[in-house]
Amino acid sequence: MSKIESVRTTDVRFPTSLELDGSDAVNVDPDYSAAYVEITTDDGESGYGLVFTCGRGNEIVTAAMDSYGELLVGRDTDELVNNLGESSRRLVHDSQMRWLGPEKGVSHMAAGGLINAMWDIRAKREKKPLWLLLSEMSSEEIVSAVDFTHIRNALTPEDATDILEKGQVGKEVRIAELKADGYPAYTTTPGWLGYSDEKLVRLSKEAVADGFGMIKLKVAGSIEDDRRRLSLAREAVGPDVRIAIDANQRWEEQEAIDWVNQLQDFQPYWIEEPTSTDDILAHAAIRKAVHPIKVVTGEAVQNRIIFKQMLQAGAIDIMQIDSTRVAGVNENIANLLLAARFETPVCPHAGGVGLCELVQHFSFFDYAAITGTMEDRVIEYVDHLHEHFTEPAVVSNGRYRAPELPGIGAEMLPESTSRWSYPDGAVWQELNAR
């Protein structure tokens, strides 16, 4: 019998604040970081998970992972990875630790990191990338992985089964298509607030030349800057490429409405995070007032219960799932099924560290075995930090290529986790010595 031998965490940080990559109206100086976790078994297996953070506080998430790890060490590996619904609930609903959220913030993300590492072991055992593992699982096992607590008024296990059964039709053809042609991407690379106009224009043109049908610009610094930058970007990409804009929760409700409406001239496709992601009612009001610009959110949506309400209230046009904000693969399946139930497209959030590598699997799974469509669906792509992963996300001609290696995509190169470990890795030692 295989047992969980250890849960080891590493605080990995990249000093991205030294550049202005990743800067927006709220996250002014992020050091893109990963609270990284490896679960090992006494049979010599390893599973990897991570939680993305912006630098300071990454050590709180690793501490939380260590704590949740104590609930796993010594347990039967087979029992855990063959019953991932139950394994997830064991962490998320631990009777004492539940108070720390419940189901939100540091504790929820940390639990999610460990849940993902268990999925990584499962996928490696089956020698499949996560998206294919999920796509080929029985509807019954997928449904058993979902926690329907507090979403049953919008999605029952029966609803989920219906959706998944419909998703079976034509699945094999779609899997072949994904392997051949991948899935559409959009890029945020041109649009960081810290970039000069010249860099914005140059990168926007490059994005179009690289085959992207959509780019994203950060906004909400000043309305004059936003109008100027959007005008430049629109001129650079032409009328047919979509331009999304992203305010990173900077505004109050009325402020969002007034500001966004002053940008209508440039036909932005969506406004992302116009206000607090906790604020379902404000999103609903903003969505009504800025039509036809779409309202989207999700990278900071704490759990399926908030997403459910966003959908019930007609507060969003598009759901942006995130691979490390919620309780792992299980809760992301719940989110995909909720979106399907409300016929709302999912356009995942990515970037940061490892988010592209992880989140792509959910869109591939969604196309293969849930909605069967790519219409108005794109995965975010940011071109940095991929080189630290054993299987870096690959985007070419504006499309994500299907991941092929077994696992969930979170495994990093040992050289990377060592050199960038904080504060003792070589890179940080050097920086501190300056």
Q: Between 53 and 189, name the residue whose CB sits nearer to a copy of itself.
A: 53
Q: Which is nearer to a copy of itself, 94 or 162 (CB)?
A: 94
- 54 contributes a contact to a copy of itself by CB under 8 A: yes
Q: Cβ closer to a copy of itself: 294 or 308?
A: 308
Return the range that interacts with a copy of itself (CB under 8 A); candidates 51-59, 215-223, 382-390, 412-420.
51-59
Taking the complex as a whole, the smallest distance from the CB of residue 249 to a copy of itself amounts, in Å, to 7
Instruction: Tell me if 305 contacts a copy of itself by CB under 8 A.
Output: yes
- 124 included as an active-site residue: no
Per CB under 8 A, does 289 bind a copy of itself? no
* Residue 314 to residue 312: CA distance in whole angstroms: 6
The 89-128 site mask, x for binding a copy of itself (CB under 8 A), equals: -----xxxxxxxxxxxxxxxxx------------------
> Nearer to a copy of itself by C-beta: 31 or 246?
31
- Between 303 and 371, name the residue whose CB sits nearer to a copy of itself: 303
- Contact window for a copy of itself (CB under 8 A) among 78-86, 88-96, 125-133, 199-207: 88-96
Subset of residues 343 to 402 that bind a copy of itself, contact rule: CB under 8 A = none
Residue 166 bears catalytic tag: no
The interface with a copy of itself within residues 315-344 (CB under 8 A) comprises: none
Q: Which of residues 223-282 bind a copy of itself (CB under 8 A)?
A: 249, 252-254, 275-276, 278-282
Q: Which of 308, 349, 361, 388 is catalytic?
A: 349
- Candidates 45, 46, 55, 85; binder of a copy of itself (CB under 8 A) is 55
SS3 sequence of the chain: CCEEEEEEEEEEECCHHHCCCCCCCCCCCCCCEEEEEEEEECCCCEEEEEEEECCCCHHHHHHHHHHHHCCCCCCEHHHHHCCHHHHHHHHHCCCCHHHHCCCCHHHHHHHHHHHHHHHHHHHHHCCCEHHHHHHHCCHHHHHHHCCCCCCCCCCCHHHHHHHHHHHHCCHHHHHHHHHHHCEEEEEEEEECCCCCHHHHHHHHHHHHHCCCCEEEEECCCCHHHHHHHHHHHHHHHCCCCEEEEECCCCCCHHHHHHHHHCCHHHCCCEEECCCCCCCHHHHHHHHHHHCCCEEEECCCCCCHHHHHHHHHCCCCCEECCCCCCCCHHHHHHHHHHHHHHCCCCECCCCCCCCHHHHHHHHHHHHHHHHCCCCCCCCEEECCCCHHHECCCCCEECCEECCCCCCECCCCECHHHHHHCECCCCHHHHHHHHC
Count the residues of the shown chain that bind a copy of itself, applying the rule CB under 8 A. Answer: 58
Q: Does 288 bind a copy of itself (CB under 8 A)?
A: no
Q: Is 150 in the site for a copy of itself (CB under 8 A)?
A: yes
Close Cβ partners of 149 (under 8 Å, ≥ 6 residues apart): 93
In the complex, the smallest distance separating the C-beta of residue 111 from a copy of itself, rounded to whole angstroms, is 10
CB 151 to a copy of itself: min, Å = 8
Q: From the candidates 104, 124, 218, 361, give the one annotated as an active-site residue.
A: 218
Among 18, 57, 199, 235, binds a copy of itself (CB under 8 A): 57
Catalytic residues, which ones? 218, 349
Q: Which residues are at the interface with a copy of itself (CB under 8 A)?
A: 26-31, 53-57, 59-61, 63-64, 67, 94-110, 149-150, 152-153, 249, 252-254, 275-276, 278-282, 300, 302-303, 305-306, 308-309, 312-313
